[in-house]
Amino acid sequence: MTELLQYLVSGTTVGAAYALVALGFTIIYNASDVVNFAQGEFVMLGGMVTFFAWQAGVPLPLAALLAIVAAAVIGVLLNKLAIERAGAAPVVSLIIITIGASIFLRGGAQLVFDKQLHRFPGFSGDEPMNVGGVTILPQGLWVVAVAVMVFVLLYVFFTRTLTGKAILATANNRVAAKLVGINTDYMMSLSFALSAAIGALAGILMTPISLTSYDLGVPFALKGFAAAMLGGMGVPVGALVGGLLLGLIEALTAGLVSSTYKDAVAFIVILVVLFWMPQGLFGRKSMERV
């Protein structure tokens, strides 16, 4: 029983991180209909930039802030230099552009930083807590709390603020948004910055638990994508629930079935969702316009 609870605890922690990555996917997908395969690289940048700034003597909170800003800037550059210029490119081109960006960022990180695994201490220490036989890392609580907080803030941002509503309007119909005076280019850049910042945040939160290295972007991107699809592409609640579910399924698989193939879970989830419920748990059925 305690073992099962332990799996649930670790699954929730990892799941919260997946939920953050999935939220990042959702924001860009909603704003531009682009699935950003480079999303995982923001997670990597979050962890790596924080570690190297921290190692250079910058206090940890400041280093984390620096990493989030750096990721946001790269996100905006990705939009300005690549996605915006590609215009109405076919999906294959956009897939290749974002994968290209991902390989480029990974190659850059390998060069600027190094190929080692890195970690910095947890925000509230690394002393594990024992709750009824179940070990909980304080950092795990941070991950879950921040994920919930980000979700609530995003909800408020998109439903209560003018800027948030303008992003939604841009996503809905770019021409109409332009006609009512919304600066759609700015809204697109803002979405990329927001999405990159959230990705970086996930990377920073997870580093004390699962370490960071230059090449963790691809697995994070794929799992974030799996989570977003499980919940329903483009639905924020779906991203949150999908992320947590994926984390739990993964932890239970690792504990009860095989830890070697725990990474396969995300893909099997993707395939199952695609075949049997293509709109995900919370998504609306989409219609194709001819």
Partner 1 sequence: MRLSSKHLTLLILLAIVALAPLAFPSNFYYRIGALAFVNGLAVTGLVILIGFAGQVSLGHAGFAGIGAYTCALAPIYLGLHPALAMLLGTVISAGIAWLIGGPILRLKGYYLGVATLGFGILVSMVLANEVPITGGADGREVPELGLRAALKFIGIDLSNAQFWYAFTALFLLGGAWVASNLHDSAAGRALRALHDSEIAAGTVGVDVARYKLSAFVLSAVYASLSGSLLALMNKFITPDVAGFLHSVELVTMTVLGGAGSVPGAIAGATLLTLLPQALTALQAYEHMILGLIMMLVMIFMRDGLVPTLSRALRGRG
- Residue 110 binds to partner 1 (criterion: CB under 8 A): yes
Q: How far is the CB of 182 from partner 1 (least distance, A)?
A: 25
Q: b/e for 212-239, b at 16 or more Cβ within 10 A?
A: bbbebbbebbbbbbbbbbbbbbbbbebb
Query: What binding mask, one character per residue, do residues 229-258 give for partner 1 by CB under 8 A, x or -?
Result: x-----------------------------
Q: How far is the CB of 12 from partner 1 (least distance, A)?
A: 24
Determine the interface stretch with partner 1 among 53-61, 131-139, 217-225, 242-250 (rule: CB under 8 A).
217-225
Q: How far is the CB of 276 from partner 1 (least distance, A)?
A: 10
Nearest to partner 1 of 106, 174 (CB atom): 106
Nearest to partner 1 of 61, 107 (CB atom): 107
Q: How far is the CB of 101 from partner 1 (least distance, A)?
A: 6
CB 125 within 8 A of CB 138: yes
Task: List the one residue from 5, 65, 218, 237 that touches partner 1 (CB under 8 A).
Answer: 218
CA angle 77, 73, 52 (to 5 degrees): 125
Nearest to partner 1 of 83, 205 (CB atom): 83
Nearest to partner 1 of 59, 278 (CB atom): 278
Binding to partner 1 (CB under 8 A) within 149-188 occurs at none
- 25 alpha carbon, distance to own chain's centre: 6
- 259 alpha carbon, distance to own chain's centre: 23
Q: How far apart are CA 93 and CA 101, in angstroms?
A: 12
CB 68 within 8 A of CB 223: no
CB 236 within 8 A of CB 26: yes
Determine the interface stretch with partner 1 among 10-18, 54-62, 93-101, 245-253 (rule: CB under 8 A).
93-101
- Residue 209 binds to partner 1 (criterion: CB under 8 A): no
- Residue 115 binds to partner 1 (criterion: CB under 8 A): no
Q: How far is the CB of 271 from partner 1 (least distance, A)?
A: 6
Phi, psi values for residue 64, rounded to 5°: -65, -45
List Cα–Cα distances, 252 to 4, 14, 226, 249, in angstroms: 8, 12, 17, 5
- Residue 89 binds to partner 1 (criterion: CB under 8 A): yes
Task: List the one residue from 20, 64, 197, 222 that touches partner 1 (CB under 8 A).
Answer: 222
Nearest to partner 1 of 95, 169 (CB atom): 95
Site residues for partner 1 per CB under 8 A: 35, 82, 85-86, 89-97, 99-108, 110-111, 218, 222, 225, 229, 260-261, 263-264, 266-268, 270-271, 274-275, 278, 290
